[in-house]
Amino acid sequence: MRPLELKRAIVDKAHAVGFEKVGFTRAQLDDETPHLAEWLRRGFHGEMRWMERDPERRTDAARNLPNTQTLVCCALNYYQGPPESRPGTGIISSYARGSDYHAILQQKLEDVADFVESTCHVPTKLYVDTGPVLEKSYAVAAGLGWMGKHSNLISQAGSSWFFLGEILVPLALPVDMPVGDRCGSCTRCIEACPTRAIVEPYVVDSRLCISYLTIELRESIPRELRPGIGDRIYGCDDCQDVCPWNRFAKKSDEAAFFPREPLASMDLVAMLQMSREQFMSATKGSAIRRARYAGFLRNVAVALGNTRDSEAVVPLTIALEHEEPLVREHVAWALGTIGDERARQPLAARLEVEKNDCVYEELVWALKRLDANLG
């Protein structure tokens, strides 16, 4: 089969398994190497230390599969519309409300990769946000869209609500041309970011990003950033929500991306009260597990504090005895932030027995905040 015929056959196969967009690009992203190096030098990757390891592999796919010449980049729409807003609930990023996208895209990519291997008798390798490749930059090079100022890929035809996956192929296939940047003078995403994580157009400091803080960060969320998190408990979509191009977004009919129970119906208090076993059961097959049990309840505690709802005081005081120090620490902050007199005695009692330094410091802060607010 000639290269152009093979390319058309791969595109047909990708569309047949459900991908909306397919593009082809070369294995090397030479222009991105200095940009990645500068981003790492500035420490914008935070605790994501894997970004530092062998960064050359991220811009040269042939280092991941020898003789790779072409990347087949695929996009799958996951948009489910804006989340339902109900009092006392937290916001989960749209991509994580359904089943874990890794498994869904993996199967679809495997179907396409199997077609390539059986047709051409060559090995392939595929990634779904799981390997050392700059997938958004490769997708841009493959013509799937352009990089928005929020550093997410935007498609003129399909918004920015899609997952990306790549197939590495050791064959020279015709490549697609990138599309031009269509953000123009718009800065809505930069202005909308609650924590000012988009430090300049096209550059995100992950250490300030709510998605990083609620998912990748394993330790305490910096106190000064907690108010900006609001009621977001896993990820953040604000920069995408305000993007004018997303007015063209169409809902995905992929059933696996529909909001999952029981989390879809649980309020913040119910989430805070989940045992480890209940959390593991509720997040089976969900991307939310990435935050881990303590990290997820940490996020819930911050959201409860930001509600300033006095009805949360009693369940929060019970959570002061939680087994996880990370949870106790952020529960103390929430109680201090809500500023209800009923929290004083439980906070003081916990202070008398607390052994963890970070929790102890937060208890002291919470009591001082109560004193300042209540006198």
Distance, in Å, from the CA atom of 229 to the CA atom of 123, rounded to the nearest integer, reads 44
Q: Which two tokens stand for residue 131?
A: 């390997």
* Residue 13 DSSP SS3: helix
Q: What angle (nearest 5°) sits at the alpha carbon of residue 26, between those of residues 23 and 27?
A: 115
Asked if 300 and 272 touch (Cβ cutoff 8 Å), the reply is yes
Distance, in Å, from the CA atom of 45 to the CA atom of 48, rounded to the nearest integer, reads 5
Q: What angle (nearest 5°) sits at the alpha carbon of residue 72, between those of residues 172 and 64?
A: 80
H or E stretch covering 203:
strand 203-204
H or E stretch covering 338:
helix 325-338
In terms of Cα–Cα distance, which of 262, 267, 254, 197 is closest to 229? 197
**Gap between the terminal Cα atoms of the chain:** 80
Q: Which two tokens stand for residue 251?
A: 């809902």
Q: What angle (nearest 5°) sits at the alpha carbon of residue 147, between those of residues 41 and 248?
A: 150
The residue assigned the tokens 């900006």 is 228
Asked if 75 and 20 touch (Cβ cutoff 8 Å), the reply is yes
In terms of Cα–Cα distance, which of 113, 114, 21 is closest to 70? 113
Q: What is the DSSP letter of 76?
A: E
Give the type of residue at 96.
Answer: A
Q: Which two tokens stand for residue 253?
A: 């009919």
Instruction: Determine how many CB atoms are found less than 10 A away from the CB of residue 294.
Output: 20
The residues carrying an active-site annotation are 129
* Residue 198 DSSP SS3: strand
Give the β-pairing of 70-77 and 162-169: antiparallel
